[in-house]
Amino acid sequence: MAANKQVKICLVGVAGNGKSTLGNILLGLEPDDDGGFETSSGARSCTLDVQCKDGNFRGGAGQPIRVIDTPGHGDGEGRDEEFRKNMIAEMKKEETIDAFIWVKNSQDPRYNKSEAEYFQILIEIFGGAYFHNFVVVFSRWSFSESEERKRGKLRNRVTLEGVKTELWDSFLRDYEGNRNQVRVPMMAIDALHDVNEQNEVDAFEKEMNLLWDTISKFSARPVNNIEMALTKIEKMKKEMEDDQRKLKDMKSRMRSLDQQKQLELKLQEAEFQRRIKEAESKIKEEKERIEGPPWVKFISFLATPLIALGRRLFGK
């Protein structure tokens, strides 16, 4: 990661799952800090608006971050359409995002309709590209010894790995490929852990460090919003077309030149051809990135908006 680069982190998910609480923790604040994001405990979202706060990771120095807290889709007061409009308008102002964190309640790990609608909104803004920089953070998972004992006594023993598997199986329920090859980073962060219990502190530190390592890797190639991505593609296409015109002019002039000049132009011709080929490859790569990882297209609730996006952007 470039020194002092501000890392943009977008928190996504339905209302009441702990996005705002996690946002405060990332900034080094208390879970319900008055100077942080407003938190709620139920399905009612605290705000209709996208909220941004700048600071440093965990309040330290040298790791500047911007945390973007999106309004919680699946609000208990039927305000989802307002959320959708506000979210699209505000998120388009953010040209790039380094990491998307899906905050998921570990006590309700199955993927649901509200989340499907939420991810479809993100496709309108970022295409499927956001799945390249996507991580799941489970909330409400306690690492305390008492909770571990309780979970161990259940007939169907609940484990964190089991929760991860249940979420991902429900997310990929209609995916027929090799699911072992389709994974995203997952971790559990207990924002309300007991600071006097060493095992809880150790687990919190481990998961937070893992999250930051993941985000840092993502930041090497942030996700552009669709408008910025298309601008980038158009710029590359224009540069490629300029090279193609120069190459054509060069070939037409070559016939009237002596052997030495022809040799010089052939060297230039080879360089132009290399640049054109490289540009074609980069344009193809950028288009594929907008559409997201290949497996995303095989998930029905994501495939439909992605196919429509591909037709609109690239005439597919």
pLDDT surpasses 80 at 154: no
Task: Check residues 297 and 7 and name the one with the higher pLDDT.
Answer: 7
Closest listed residue to residue 115, CA positions, set 48, 19, 228: 19
Q: How does DSSP classify residue 16?
A: T
Q: Classify strands 96-97 and 51-56 as parallel, antiparallel or unpaired.
A: unpaired
- Label residue 3 by pLDDT band (50, 70, 90): low
C-beta of residue 177 within 8 angstroms of C-beta of residue 297: no
- Phi, psi values for residue 76, rounded to 5°: -75, -5
pLDDT surpasses 90 at 304: no
**Long-range contact list for 277-282, CB < 8 A, 24+ apart?**
279/236, 279/237, 279/239, 279/240, 279/243, 280/240, 282/236
Specify the CATH number for 7-224; select among 3.40.50.300, 3.40.228.10, 3.20.80.10, 3.40.140.10: 3.40.50.300
3-state secondary structure of 294: helix
Task: Check residues 121 and 211 and name the one with the higher pLDDT.
Answer: 211
Residue 193's pLDDT is 95
Alpha-helical (H) ranges within the chain are 19-26, 80-91, 113-126, 145-153, 160-171, 198-218, 226-254, 259-291, 300-314
pLDDT surpasses 80 at 314: no
**Long-range contact list for 158-163, CB < 8 A, 24+ apart?**
160/106, 160/188, 163/106, 163/109, 163/138, 163/188
- Phi, psi values for residue 270, rounded to 5°: -60, -40
3-state secondary structure of 65: strand
HSE-CB for 286 with a 13 A CA cutoff: 22
pLDDT surpasses 80 at 305: yes
pLDDT average, residue stretch 42-68: 82
Q: Which residue intervals of the chain bear CATH 3.40.50.300?
A: 7-224
Gyration radius of the chain over CA positions: 24
Mean pLDDT of the chain: 87
pLDDT surpasses 70 at 51: yes
Terminal Cα-to-Cα distance of the chain (whole angstroms): 35
pLDDT surpasses 90 at 87: no
Residue 64's pLDDT is 96
C-beta of residue 290 within 8 angstroms of C-beta of residue 127: yes
pLDDT surpasses 80 at 76: no
- pTM here is 0.88
Paired tokens of 282: 């980069």
pLDDT average, residue stretch 291-316: 80
pLDDT average, residue stretch 91-111: 94
pLDDT in tens, 110-142: 998 888 888 988 998 999 999 999 999 999 999
